[in-house]
Amino acid sequence: MDSVFQENTSTLAIRQTAPVVNLIYLCDCSGSMAGSRIATVNTALNKALAELIEFSDVYPKLKFQMAVLRFANTATWHIPPSPVEQLRYSPLVDTSGLTALGAAYDLLADYLIQVEEQASKLALPPLPPILILFSDGMPTDDVATALAKLAAQPLAQTSLRLAIGIGDQVDTAVLQAWIQAWQQKQPSVPKATKLAARQLAIAGSTLEVCELVSVFTAEAIGRLLTETQP
Amino acid sequence: MNQTVRYILKSIVHTHGLAFSRSQRLCNAYLADLMPDFPAERRQLVAAVADGLPHKLLLTQTSQQRKELALQFGQAHSIPAPQALAAAETWFYALKDLTRPQQAPSWLTLTTYLGGVLTGVVILLVGSAIAFYKKLDEPLPRQQASKQITLSLPQPALSKLTLHPFPTPLPSSVALPQPQPLAQAPMQAKPTVDSPFLLSLASPQWTKLDTLDTERESIQSVLLQTQPLASFETPVRLAKPEPEPELKLESNSKSEPKAKPKLEPITQPKPQPALKAVSVAAQPPSTRLSSPPEKPIKQATPSTPTQVTAKTKTTPTTSAANRTEIKPLFTKTAQAMQTLVEQVLRLRKKQADRAAVIQLLNLTGDTFYRQQLTELEQQIKQLQLRLDHLSGSYTMQVAKLCSSSPTGWQNGKLSNGERDNHKIQQWVLQDWKQCQGLSSQQIKQQLLTHYQILP
């Protein structure tokens, strides 16, 4: 099922006439996310898309792109990076298999490399991406190697990341590694007090998850506007 | 514990091996993804991994030990005993097919192994003994079944066999047969013994006997069917001489012949030129040359059998003496014929067995039947050799009988010692052919008439 939604990321056109704000959601679709958990994720993402469309109206000089990367036995793009104005959210329905979080990190790293290459051709520095991870935190593949590869990317080092653990069996160590893996190497990243305090959140209900996603997205966009001044 | 949980856990263990059961985190991740609908079971199984229960279970030998381990695990993790037992059983079910760690062989294992080896050896020995001592003469049930099919075919030649155990000597009126068919027969190739009276391997006799019926399993059955002939033979073979009353002609036989093909009535011999020639040939050359043609015939043969038979013919009182002289020859001939028939029947039985074994071998291709076939062929070969000896002996007895008969001396080649083995065979074969349509009583009558032993 993963291959059904697979997209060739090399064809993703990033024509930046205006600064692009990339919001990438990494969604755990393993068997442990079945039921209400994946429903919570779908609700939060649908709500986030609506808010991003509102943000695009508020900030017309910015171009907001949204992408959904799902991972179970493998990692694929459920929604490739696309302008939010053209998007209609399609929910994640298939939840089965293992948790290939490392594969998702690999795919994300490849995409960030591509974005950086496109930006270098346009002589326009890309904005740091906003990365949000939904998972119950129990990967079954090699996460460390893939995380090291991702952490080696400059865009990943400047990215704004949020990890939302869903459920009561969350492996916080995995989510903590996602947040703190390369913070030591990027001291220039400002520590937003409120944002930094909530980079890692454990959500038990749909409402909590939706609130976390909304708040984090808004604060991340505000931070980008403040620091980068596009 | 739920059966689905057992199957899922077993599939995970078979996919990822024992390493899966060593890491609590990995176990939890896998179980969370693959059995999200069984959180309670997953917790118990993961707790068992945290306690190292799976590997402890692999080291246990009995169910009692596993039960004790499960109870200890339940107490350590505050899990009720039934659930702890179920968790332990599920883990053991998932791990039992994997390779167990090396364990010291226990006495029970060693005893079981040795018992199995001993049982196999005993079975091999018994089977070998049965195969070795099994007599090939006794056909197998499958052989019997196949044999019944073969033997159910009509074999009309049996009656012919039982009717001519005693060949009549050549009638005096019948000319000696030409050796033409005998020369074409393959039996002339090589005689098997040095005696000139012993026949070769493939003789006309054998060719004739080969068409005999095989439905009779033994010579006893043959003799029972030829009861009149047996009653005729018995006084001849007896050591007690009771010749006259027993050897009377039984003309009131129920089985009268319908036809006598090519059998001419035996007539008394008449003086013929051939007699002279034979007598002359029996004389020394000097005698033949010096004496006139008429006298030496009577003077030169006082001690020869032809002279005795001539006296018998001329003197009525010599009939009893002649009969007494012929009786041992007649007895020996009958015995030789009886032995010959017995061996022929044995050979036919072996040939039927061989046909059955060949069918079984074609059906099964079993090595056992191949060995049986080889042994049967060896036995058949030996029987054929034996038959050559016996037929030769029988031919010699017949020749002696013919030479002692009042008409046999007229057959110069028989009485003069020019006994050609193949010709004798041909004569005997012709006798048999002549006797085919006759009953035993008729043969008996002809014999008695021919040898002049009728009262």
Minimum-distance CB partner of B36 among A34, A139, A171? A34
**Mean pLDDT computed over A74-91:** 92
Question: Does B382 score more than 80 pLDDT?
Answer: yes
Number of Cβ within a 10 Å radius of residue A52: 21
Dump pLDDT digits (tens) for B3-48.
888 888 888 888 877 777 788 888 888 888 888 888 888 888 888 8
The domain defined by A20-203 carries CATH number 3.40.50.410: yes
Q: Do A136 and B32 touch (CB under 8 A)?
A: yes
Residue B399 amino acid letter: A
Give me the percent of chain A exceeding a pLDDT of 90. 30
- Gap from A138 CA to chain B (nearest CA, Å): 5
Percent of chain B with pLDDT over 70: 43
Query: Chain-wide mean pLDDT for chain B?
Result: 62
Give the highest mean pLDDT range of A77-81, A222-226, B18-22: A77-81
Q: Where are the domains of chain B?
A: 3-98, 323-451
Among B26, B28, B33, the residue with its CB nearest the CB of A30 is B33
Long-range contact set of residues B156-161: C-beta below 8 Å, sequence gap at least 24: B156/B213, B157/B211, B157/B212, B157/B213, B158/B212, B158/B213, B158/B215, B158/B216, B159/B213, B160/B212, B160/B436, B161/B209, B161/B212, B161/B213, B161/B222, B161/B341, B161/B344
Query: Residue B421: helix, strand or coil by DSSP?
Result: helix
Most B CBs within 10 Å: which of A30, A138, A143, A166, as the mutation test of the B interface? A138
Tens of pLDDT, residues B164-199: 444 444 444 444 444 444 334 444 333 333 333 333
Please answer yes or no on whether A98 and B32 come within 8 Å at the CB atom: no
Which pLDDT score is estimated for B437? 62
Of all helices (H) and strands (E), which one includes residue B440? helix B440-450
A138–B contact, CB cutoff 8 A? yes
* B317: region left, alpha or beta (phi > 0 left; psi from -120 to 50 alpha): alpha
Check residue A101 and give its pLDDT: 92
Q: Which residues of B touch A32 (CB under 8 A)?
A: 29, 32-33, 36
Range with the poorest average pLDDT among A167-181, B55-69, B351-365: A167-181
| Residue B88: pLDDT over 80 | yes
Top pLDDT among B312 and A37 is at A37
pLDDT, one tens digit per residue, over A110-135 is 999 998 888 888 777 788 899 999 98
A25 against B130, higher pLDDT: A25
Between B277 and B404, the higher pLDDT residue: B404
* pLDDT at residue B138 greater than cutoff 60: no
Q: Measured between CA atoms, how close is B64 to chain A, in angstroms?
A: 34
Most confident of A77-86, A220-229, B378-387: A77-86
A36 lies within 8 A of chain B by CB: no
Distance from CA of B36 to the nearest CA of A (A): 5
Nearest chain B residue to A32 by CA distance is: B33
In this complex, do A140 and B25 lie within 8 Å of one another by their Cβ atoms? no
* pLDDT over 60 at A210, yes or no: yes
pLDDT band of residue B429 (cuts 50, 70, 90) is: low
**What's the pLDDT score for residue A104?**
94
Q: Which of B211-215, B278-282, B395-399 has the highest mean pLDDT?
A: B395-399
Interface of B with A in 31-50 (CB under 8 A): 32-36
- Residue A24: pLDDT over 90: yes
Q: Is the pLDDT of residue B255 over 50?
A: no
Does position A46 have pLDDT exceeding 80, yes or no?
Answer: yes
What pLDDT score does B404 carry? 64
> Which range among A8-12, A77-81, A137-141, B43-47 shows the weakest confidence by mean pLDDT?
A8-12
Cβ contact B332:B453 at 8 Å: no
Among B235, B403, B430, B200, smallest CA distance to B334 is for B235
* Whole-angstrom distance, CA of residue A66 vs CA of residue A225: 17
pLDDT-derived band at A183 (thresholds 50, 70, 90) equals low
For residues A190-205, average pLDDT: 56
Chain B hits for A30, CB-CB cut-off 8 Å, are 32-33
Counting Cα atoms < 13 Å in the Cβ hemisphere of A183 gives 13
Q: Do A31 and B30 touch (CB under 8 A)?
A: no
Instruction: Quick: pLDDT tens for A29-43.
Output: 998 888 888 999 999
Contact A31 B32 (CB under 8 A): yes
B119-129: per-residue pLDDT in tens?
Answer: 999 999 998 88
pLDDT at B346 over 80: yes
- Given a cut of 80, whether residue B304 has pLDDT beyond it is no
